[in-house]
């Protein structure tokens, strides 16, 4: 039997918050299962479902080799960096499962082990934080509360170690200091599975997506956007003229400013780094649910068709993720002017 590592799951790509408003939340791109190269395990099918509430992925794999494959399965979570202005969407406040991640192998729920490590200035400080009973995710309210409860000497030490950033401010004539966690959390779920020789197995996982967004429309020139932003959105989301016209028709003039009454949201799914199994994906299906029939949605795909009031689907055979292009979804939700 061979030991074949697999890596996959929730990506370590953090998109910076755009510059068009302090109400903007950036999204984490997330990904599915990926292999460190296997010449024997083929992906016979992948069914990917994406909505603002949930991402679900079901794979079928077949081990075409003569031997069973003992496979190390790993789902890296995104790197999460503490910041003075944490403006990136994290779906939950659960310190052990920020994305509500779960997985099944052959229909059986998997109890994966979570490995979490905290780094500051390139040095691991996991044990240090645990000794002081501080949660590892830097963005949680519970983490900030634990930091605030520390004595002043420990706070100064953590600042010297690069774990905290201090901000001084005036409070009725008195100078006070706030301390913000700025370490980086790196986490991975992992377990071992056996892919039997000559057999087909099913792997499923699901989690809550990181949905970025802003309260306005960023790509209309007279609504605060620029021609460059419109060109970027057209390229990234395959935005067509019909949606631009529908948004433009909703315009409400307010002096020199034009309001377009939509909320703009973004979901990213990284699929290009997962194509390391043997051959192409035999059958690939993508289903995107825009959430409400009133919402507008745009994404790049091949032969996409509408299959329901809120769902769109593309199917392909012998499919490989497109080189240099991930799945990026734009949602436009109507809002009150």
pLDDT digits (tens, 9 = 90+) for 38-63: 678 888 999 999 998 988 989 898 99
pLDDT digits (tens, 9 = 90+) for 244-294: 999 999 988 877 778 889 988 888 887 765 555 667 889 999 999 999 999
The mean pLDDT of 132-148, rounded to a whole number, is: 91
Average pLDDT, the chain: 80
The hierarchical CATH code for the domain 2-125+183-334 is 2.60.40.3680
pLDDT on residue 175: 82
Q: Pick the residue with more confidence: 147 or 273?
A: 147
Candidate ranges 1-5, 87-91, 265-269; pick with highest mean pLDDT: 265-269
Domain boundaries, the chain: 2-125+183-334
Residue 218's pLDDT band, with cuts at 50, 70 and 90, is confident
Q: Pick the residue with more confidence: 290 or 222?
A: 290
| Confidence check: pLDDT of 18 > 70 | no
Candidate ranges 82-91, 126-135, 136-145, 220-229; pick with highest mean pLDDT: 126-135
| Confidence check: pLDDT of 228 > 80 | yes
pLDDT on residue 5: 32
pLDDT on residue 21: 36
Q: Pick the residue with more confidence: 253 or 6?
A: 253
Q: Where are the alpha helices (DSSP H) in 137-296?
A: 141-148, 152-160, 227-237, 241-249
Q: Report helix, strand or coil for 146.
A: helix
| Confidence check: pLDDT of 198 > 90 | yes
Residue 243's pLDDT band, with cuts at 50, 70 and 90, is very high
Residue 85's pLDDT band, with cuts at 50, 70 and 90, is low
The mean pLDDT of 300-326, rounded to a whole number, is: 89
pLDDT on residue 94: 72
Alpha carbon 316 to its chain centroid, in Å, reads 24
For 54, the token pair is 């949930």
Spatial separation of the C-alpha atoms in residues 215 and 335, rounded to whole Å: 9
pLDDT on residue 274: 52
Read off the DSSP letter of residue 286.
E
Q: Pick the residue with more confidence: 315 or 323?
A: 315
Answer whether 240's CB lies under 8 Å from 297's CB. no
Spatial separation of the C-alpha atoms in residues 177 and 288, rounded to whole Å: 46
pLDDT on residue 129: 97
Alpha carbon 313 to its chain centroid, in Å, reads 21
Answer whether 324's CB lies under 8 Å from 273's CB. no
| Confidence check: pLDDT of 2 > 60 | no
10 Å Cβ neighbour count for 26? 18
| Confidence check: pLDDT of 141 > 50 | yes
| Confidence check: pLDDT of 240 > 80 | yes
Token match 């315009």: residue?
A: 251
* Share of residues in the chain with pLDDT > 70 (%): 81
Candidate ranges 45-54, 76-85, 320-329; pick with highest mean pLDDT: 45-54
Q: Pick the residue with more confidence: 260 or 77?
A: 260
pLDDT on residue 268: 84
């Amino acid at each position: 039997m061979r030991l074949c590592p697999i890596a996959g799951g929730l990506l370590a790509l953090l998109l910076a918050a755009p510059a068009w408003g302090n109400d903007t939340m950036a999204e984490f791109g997330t990904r599915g299962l990926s292999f460190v190269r296997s010449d024997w395990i083929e992906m016979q099918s992948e069914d990917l479902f994406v909505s603002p509430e949930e991402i679900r992925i079901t794979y079928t794999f077949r081990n075409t080799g003569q031997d069973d494959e003992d496979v190390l399965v790993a789902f890296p979570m995104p790197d999460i960096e503490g910041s003075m202005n944490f403006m990136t969407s994290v779906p939950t406040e659960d310190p052990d499962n920020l994305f509500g991640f779960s997985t099944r192998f052959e229909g059986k729920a998997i109890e994966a082990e979570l490995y979490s490590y905290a780094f500051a200035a390139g040095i691991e400080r996991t044990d240090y934080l645990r000794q002081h009973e501080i949660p590892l995710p830097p963005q949680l309210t519970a983490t900030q509360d634990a930091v605030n409860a520390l004595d002043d000497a420990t706070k100064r030490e953590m600042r010297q170690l690069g774990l905290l950033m201090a901000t001084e401010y005036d409070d009725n004539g008195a100078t006070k200091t706030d301390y913000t966690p700025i370490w980086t959390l790196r986490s991975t779920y992992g377990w071992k599975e056996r892919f039997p020789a000559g057999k087909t197995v099913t792997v499923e996982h699901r989690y809550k997506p990181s949905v970025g967004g802003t309260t306005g429309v960023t790509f209309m020139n007279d609504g605060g956007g620029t021609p460059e932003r419109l060109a970027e959105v057209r390229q990234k989301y395959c935005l067509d003229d019909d949606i631009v016209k529908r948004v433009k028709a909703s315009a409400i003039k307010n002096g020199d400013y034009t309001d377009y009454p939509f909320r703009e949201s973004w979901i990213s799914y990284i699929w290009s780094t997962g194509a390391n199994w043997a051959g192409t994906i035999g059958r690939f299906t993508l289903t995107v649910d825009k959430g409400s029939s009133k919402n507008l949605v745009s994404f790049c795909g091949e032969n996409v068709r509408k299959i329901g009031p809120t769902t769109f689907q593309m199917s392909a055979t012998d499919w490989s993720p497109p080189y240099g292009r991930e799945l990026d979804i734009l949602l436009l939700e109507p809002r009150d002017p």
